[in-house]
Amino acid sequence: MLKEKRILLGVTGSIAAYKAVDLTRELTKRGAEVQVVMTEAATRFVAPLSFETLSRQPVLLDMFSLAYGSQIGHIAATAHADLFVIAPATAHTIAKLAHGLANDFITNIYLASRCPILLAPAMDSDMYQHAVVQENLARLRDRGVHIVGPASGELASGLTGPGRLVEPADIVEAIERLLESSRDLVGEVVLVTAGPTREPLDPVRYLSNRSSGKMGYAIAEAAGLRGARVILVSGPTSLPPPRGADLNRVETAQEMHDAVLSELEAATVVIKAAAVADYRPKQVASRKIKKDETVPEVTLESTPDILAEVGKRKGRRILVGFAAETDDLVANARKKLQRKNLDLMVANDLRQPGAGFDSDTNVVKILDARGGVEELPLLSKRVVADRILDRVVQLLKQRNQRAETGNRKLETG
Ligand code: PMT
């Protein structure tokens, strides 16, 4: 599993830094290529030479030297990494990561990274239990950072409690698990829709809704990190484009329809998190409707139902829809799942605080085509995104197994 994997190992200033030496040994023994990055404080606990001997690479330490020939060190270091693990991660480094501060190699690498990130915290138990540390860890978790440990036990301070760095073997196991799941969409093309649509009334006014695009963008980001090629068809949002996604910006439901159908051929998975307007003004005024004219009457007409149309052309694709409901959540979502020929329907419970439109969190139930309902608690949209993709991966595996069995029958038949 670890053979030829490129692992960046960040070591920060903790008494537990000596365990990172063992971790380096374990990783290299399993065939990984380990690039160690240390903070200045970490070098007070363990000499860089120990890591250099085991990893057979110079340790990255000095932000101001061109570590990779003429390239900028932290950018070059992240470019080919399969995983970035920080072990031990001190409270100080965790705080910097949570708030985007970048004053050393490790924090710069974090901001430039496109690979999965694993933290193994280590600190005194009172520090670990402090509300600020817990908030910082929660913030990072919500952004998709993975955390292993800490373990409970005797600490350097003489106290006993949570805060010990987990053992190198546990970190290796967490790395292996993460590497496995982090590449589980390689070879798939995931088409995601996000955000609202705008249906013009005249050149300055439109009908729309409160979708921010956060849910769809989180899915696009998560799918990209798991190795998929991502095509994101997005209505108007103020979000930065997810790294690596092919972004196709649209405004109206008709434009979203055209974009989705033109990208459909390549897609193996379609996830429709966009809140598409169901109706649009039948007439669009070519000039701004004046206030001094009589109050206008607007006649609406239906927009194309994009997902229903994709459902008709489904083929072997995995189709995931979203439903935002205030009443009869499961029953209404199930009707849409069946009507649109979906594999999964993610139902947002709009009556729950922190769910649905424009929040950073969501409360959803995932319905499947066999009648199953998985209830998720309040989670960040980024974590919800991964939970949805876990279900997609399961379905892809089942589909591939069915295809293999079919092929075998054909060969033997
Ligand atoms: O963007 P955020 O602020 O993060 O909020 C996320 C969200 C609440 C918008 C998202 O999680 C969500 O629930 N999106 C779908 C909401 C919705 O419009 O549901 P619906 O019941 O109208 O549509 C059901 C499904 O059909 C959706 O997947 C929708 O994309 C699709 N649809 C709907 C109408 C239409 N004309 N074409 C479609 O493809």
* Pair of tokens at residue 320: 């995931």
Percent of the chain with pLDDT over 90: 77
pLDDT band at 70; cut points 50, 70, 90: low
Distances (CA, A) of 229 to 59, 185, 191, 317, 388: 33, 8, 9, 15, 17
CB of 168 closer than 6 angstroms to any ligand 1 atom: no
Helix axes 168-182, 17-29, angle to 10 degrees: 50
More confident residue, 110 or 69: 110
H-type helices in 184-249, by residue range?
214-225
Q: What is the DSSP letter of 196?
A: B
Please give the number of the atom of ligand 1 that sits closest to the Cα of 320. 28
CB of 311 closer than 6 angstroms to any ligand 1 atom: no
φ/ψ of residue 168, rounded to 5: -50, -35
Distance 266 CA to ligand 1 centre (A): 22
pLDDT at 73: 59
Distance 275 CA to ligand 1 centre (A): 3
**Contact (CB, 8 A) for 386 and 144:** yes
pLDDT at 372: 96
Which residues have a catalytic role annotated?
Answer: 209
Distance 237 CA to ligand 1 centre (A): 15
CB of 357 closer than 6 angstroms to any ligand 1 atom: yes
**Contact (CB, 8 A) for 270 and 310:** yes
Q: Residues 355, 183, 180, CA angle at the centre, nearest 5°?
A: 95
pLDDT at 300: 97
Which residue CA neighbors atom 36 of ligand 1 most closely?
305
Q: 10 Å Cβ neighbour count for 77?
A: 23
Domain assignments of the chain as residue spans, ordered by start: 6-182, 189-404
CB of 252 closer than 6 angstroms to any ligand 1 atom: no
pLDDT at 314: 95
Coil/strand/helix, residue 171: helix
Distance 193 CA to ligand 1 centre (A): 9
Please give the number of the atom of ligand 1 that sits closest to the Cα of 260. 39
CB of 213 closer than 6 angstroms to any ligand 1 atom: yes
CB of 2 closer than 6 angstroms to any ligand 1 atom: no
Is the pLDDT score of 229 beyond 90?
Answer: yes
Report the residue among 215, 234, 322 best suited for mutation to probe ligand 1: largest number of ligand atoms under 8 A from its CB: 322
This prediction's pTM: 0.83
Is the pLDDT score of 321 beyond 90?
Answer: yes
CB of 275 closer than 6 angstroms to any ligand 1 atom: yes
Quick check: do 6-182 and 189-404 share a fold?
Answer: yes
Distance 331 CA to ligand 1 centre (A): 16
Render pLDDT for 385-397 as a digit per residue (tens, 0 to 9): 999 999 999 999 9
Q: Average pLDDT for residues 69-98, to the nearest whole number?
A: 84
Please give the number of the atom of ligand 1 that sits closest to the Cα of 274. 30
Residue among 270, 205, 198, 192 at smallest CA distance from 233: 192
Q: What is the CATH number of domain 6-182?
A: 3.40.50.1950
Residue among 341, 343, 336, 334 at smallest CA distance from 313: 341
Pairing of strands 344-349, 318-325: parallel
* Pair of tokens at residue 114: 């496109």
Render pLDDT for 289-317 as a digit per residue (tens, 0 to 9): 888 778 888 999 999 999 999 999 999 99
What one-letter code names the amino acid at 60?
L
Q: Average pLDDT for residues 402-410, to the nearest whole number?
A: 80
Q: How far apart are CA 252 and CA 108, in angstroms?
A: 39
pLDDT at 63: 74
Residue among 74, 84, 226, 54 at smallest CA distance from 145: 84
Distance 386 CA to ligand 1 centre (A): 18
Report the residue among 209, 211, 261, 363 best suited for mutation to probe ligand 1: largest number of ligand atoms under 8 A from its CB: 211
Q: How far apart are CA 346 and CA 343, in angstroms?
A: 10
Residue among 262, 198, 272 at smallest CA distance from 236: 198
DSSP H or E run through 25: helix 17-29
Render pLDDT for 125-166 as a digit per residue (tens, 0 to 9): 999 999 999 999 999 998 889 999 899 988 877 888 899 999
pLDDT at 65: 63
Distances (CA, A) of 297 to 92, 106, 253, 281, 293: 60, 60, 22, 10, 11
pLDDT at 157: 78
Architecture in CATH for domain 189-404: 3-Layer(aba) Sandwich (3.40)
Q: 10 Å Cβ neighbour count for 40?
A: 12
CB of 274 closer than 6 angstroms to any ligand 1 atom: yes
* Pair of tokens at residue 354: 């922190």
Q: Average pLDDT for residues 269-288, to the nearest whole number?
A: 96
Question: Could you tell me which residues are beta bridge partners of residue 35?
Answer: 8
